[in-house]
Structure 1
């Protein structure tokens, strides 16, 4: 394989998924006086990032299959604080505070202006914190890039779902409704009986009824990263993401298919199954702008299909 990461001219598109680990391995030797660069382990928990949902489109993999993808873009996502608190009766709590989307000074409160000035970053629109392990803290002021995620890995995306207003039982809960022809008069979409007889003579709490729908915090789990654009800070994930276009979303490593699976397989000595197939390593403690400059602008994950879907089966 051509060592495209060591050449001066970066190719426009690459289909390799092990570039992140290769760049880290070929980095300059750090003097002994400096602290060595930490490596990702199955017990490590990285920080997440804040991005904007730009909309949906379609992509075709190397086998010609079409997949719907959602485009997420990072807007000057920077680290503003490292948090470490001792909680009574539990282990210490470690977190990384991240802010994104530059904001004008006149529309920022004095309290937040002082906080951003102390961190050495521009005022931001949104500030969130992500729990991490003690070895995953990031220097304050570091700018995170889309290469924080490796094509082929799985992520969880958290966002506020689209509000639907006050809806009936059929749309809100998927009720079948009453008869559409005979025996029902002007109550075809009614929820029907909701209570009991004289005993207990009331509606039990938690009954599925008409009410306000949407506008809740939703987590879309186990979305596969199919493409990363380091020059435009774009992350393409397969499938749909909750929320409206241009809304802020939180992206972090998949809790089930990446974090827990890595720890489980590592404990059982299944080292080849610690990370998803084709992913050798993850940028640790984070994927920064400096790392993005060493990688190709666009990295695409190959198809995970074993055989071509368009070839007739024998």
Structure 2
């Protein structure tokens, strides 16, 4: 994480232990200990929760060298934690997840079952509810409002959403077939798929054959997108490149599985501590970036340009 998040907290010196204490004194001591307990810190083996954002569209930005690059703007809409899930599997292992909901909706359009669930969590009704697998140390208190600073400029994220539906398409558009010749010797079948199966043996079309059909509208994960800017005042996250889905679609954003989570655990096990996080990052907001944390940071934080200038000749 950037240096801005490395806020050192000093704990008060421990007081002398008393021999006899009353119930009220014990309660006060427990409350004071709870307040002075240091917050949990991120470790390379930790897996944080993701966020639910809305894709607002694409634009362009310029780095410190003046090079232009495309970005996608993702905005959080009152993203809150509604539950912490712990399930014991049949083999005895435990499954931990954080349930997140976003985008407020009226109570009259919410089912009674979900309305009771939201009331139990102490949050207003939401339009979308998703859960993200986490490690046991990454649970977030129910009702916490997440902020855009959950993601640090300079890190990588994965974006999950339904791709744009393109309807029924032929094999050339759907599977990038070359097609037949458009000149001599070819009848009116320039964009045809050609043969799809054999004659007597096997006498059928094999499952999975690339043919014409409905294209798009599937769950797609775009991996390893760099976070270039975070606006905590408007809850905007700027990621480099394009993400699946139409504008104003709900998308799920999480730490990059390959470049962040798996790479951190792999380098930590090998003792490569300087390669645990991307260059320029020290840690990550843990267990999550909240609205309270955003108040102590600048409203807009941008990632520095780490690559060389594309306008200078190579040596």
SS of match in other structure, 1:106: helix
Consecutive aligned runs of 4 or more in structure 1 exceeding 2 Å deviation: 27-36
8 Å CA contact retained: 1:17, 1:299: no
Q: What TM-score do you get using the length of structure 2 for normalisation?
A: 0.91
Higher helix share: 2
Q: In the aligned structure 2, how far is the partner of 1:108 from the partner of 1:92?
A: 31
Residue 13 (structure 1) aligns with? none
Cα deviations by residue, 1:229-266 (Å, 9 ceiling, x for unpaired)? 01000000000000000000000000000000000000
Confirm whether residue 265 of structure 1 aligns to residue 270 of structure 2: no
Against the structure 1 CA distance between its residues 259 and 167, is the aligned structure 2 distance closer, same or farther, given a 3 Å change threshold? same
Distance 2:113 2:47 in 1: 30
The alignment partner of 1:88 has SS state of coil
Alignment check: 8 A CA contact 2:2 2:283 kept: no
Aligned partners of 2:223, 2:314: CA distance in 1, in Å? 32
- Aligned length in residues: 295
Q: Is contact 2:153–2:303 with CA below 8 Å preserved after alignment? A: yes
Change (3 A) 1:141 1:28: farther
Matched, 1:215 2:200: no
Is residue 155–residue 224 contact of structure 1 (8 Å, CA) maintained in 2?
A: yes
Q: How has the CA–CA distance of structure 1 residues 240 and 33 changed in structure 2, closer, same or farther, with 3 Å as cutoff? A: closer
The CA deviation at 1:28 is 6.2
Whole-angstrom CA distance in 1 between matches of 2:52 and 2:153: 18
Instruction: Determine if the alignment matches structure 1 residue 308 to structure 2 residue 293.
Output: no
| Structure 2 equivalent of residue 94 of structure 1 | 96
Determine the C-alpha separation between the residues in 2 that align with 1:28 and 1:52.
38
Indicate conservation of the 8 Å contact 2:118/2:125, yes or no.
yes
| Residue segments in structure 1 that go unaligned for 5+ positions in a row | 1-15
1:161 paired residue among 115, 139, 163 = 163
* Partners of 1:65 and 1:29 in 2: CA distance: 46
Aligned in 2, Cα 1:103/1:172: closer, same or farther, shift over 3 Å? Answer: same
- Cα distance between partner residues in 1 of 2:98 and 2:213: 37
Deviations 1:278-299 (A, max 9, x none): 0111000000001111111110
Please tell me whether Structure 1 or Structure 2 has the larger radius of gyration of its CA atoms: 2
Which residue matches 1:228? 230
1:7 equivalent in structure 2: none
**How far apart are 1:191 and its partner, in Å?**
0.8
